[in-house]
């Protein structure tokens, strides 16, 4: 499964009507997803009008897409009333700035507007190498610090947000699908099991800790478990 398969599966199984994507870039995923109402957020949107028009042929719902060219922090500050009028967001896909700090804020802000049976998905939660997991404020900085290939993948330390949620939140089911660089799945409900970290906690963890205890830290799930995992926490 890749991110498109996961997002569409969640929308279909949850009968989601409203989809929010943070970190849209050129819209490769966003325009393919089928949902009644879709909202795109990115500080630098690079979706051409021609590409938008082609997407209208793929799905007429794309005619009603909303595009917000701003940071996710700005979006959540400015669009509060709009999100409230929609009655909540059913599925959120977070793929913005790949830092623990920003992904944590994106999850908390998304939870505020998530519908009762909503699901948050987050990309880049299981980086496969220390270079891919380089903590940095941008891809360019990561490239300079760890020689990350410009054409390669940079996931940053987004994975720490999954660990922190599993340590601090007793009202959320949190796991990571073992596909497409790790896709986090976050929904309301009793956790499968809480995570306890001795010592300095989440902030002190490094990639070596993740590599040694990946399955335990992330609650790593086989992609085939997505359907049953969603069913275990039905919409409210």
- HSE-up (13 A, CA, CB side) for residue 83: 23
What count of other Cβ atoms lies within 10 Å of the Cβ of residue 182? 22
Q: What is the pLDDT of residue 145?
A: 72
Question: Per residue in 37-93, pLDDT tens?
Answer: 999 999 999 998 889 998 998 899 999 999 999 999 999 999 989 998 988 999 999
Spans of the chain below 50 pLDDT: 151
Question: Per residue in 92-104, pLDDT tens?
Answer: 999 999 999 999 9
Contact (Cβ atoms closer than 8 angstroms) between residue 199 and residue 163: no
Q: What is the pLDDT of residue 152?
A: 61
**Among candidate residues 146, 150, 218, 134, the one with its CA nearest the CA of residue 182:** 218
What count of other Cβ atoms lies within 10 Å of the Cβ of residue 207? 17
The rounded distance, in Å, linking the Cα atoms of 149 and 201 is 31
**Among candidate residues 71, 116, 77, 121, the one with its CA nearest the CA of residue 97:** 71
């Amino acid at each position: 499964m890749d991110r498109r398969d996961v997002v569409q599966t969640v929308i279909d199984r949850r009968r989601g009507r409203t989809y929010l994507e943070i970190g849209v870039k050129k819209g490769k995923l966003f325009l393919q997803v089928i949902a009644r109402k879709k909202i795109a957020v990115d500080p630098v949107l690079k979706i051409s009008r021609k590409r938008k028009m082609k997407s209208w042929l793929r799905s007429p719902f794309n005619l009603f897409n909303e595009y917000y060219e701003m940071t996710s922090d700005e979006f959540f500050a400015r669009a509060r009333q709009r999100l409230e009028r929609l009655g909540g967001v059913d599925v959120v896909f977070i793929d913005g700035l790949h830092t623990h700090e920003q992904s944590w804020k994106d999850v908390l802000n998304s939870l505020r507007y998530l519908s009762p049976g909503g699901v948050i998905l987050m990309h880049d939660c299981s980086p496969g190498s220390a270079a891919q997991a380089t903590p940095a404020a941008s891809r360019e900085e990561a490239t300079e610090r760890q020689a990350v290939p410009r054409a390669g993948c940079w996931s940053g330390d987004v994975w720490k947000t999954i660990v922190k949620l599993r340590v601090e939140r007793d009202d959320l089911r949190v796991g990571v699908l073992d596909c497409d660089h790790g896709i986090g799945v976050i929904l309301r409900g009793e956790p499968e099991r809480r995570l306890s970290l001795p010592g300095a906690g989440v902030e002190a963890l490094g990639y070596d800790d993740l590599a040694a205890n990946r399955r335990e830290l992330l609650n790593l799930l086989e992609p085939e478990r997505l359907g049953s995992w969603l069913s275990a926490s039905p919409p409210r």
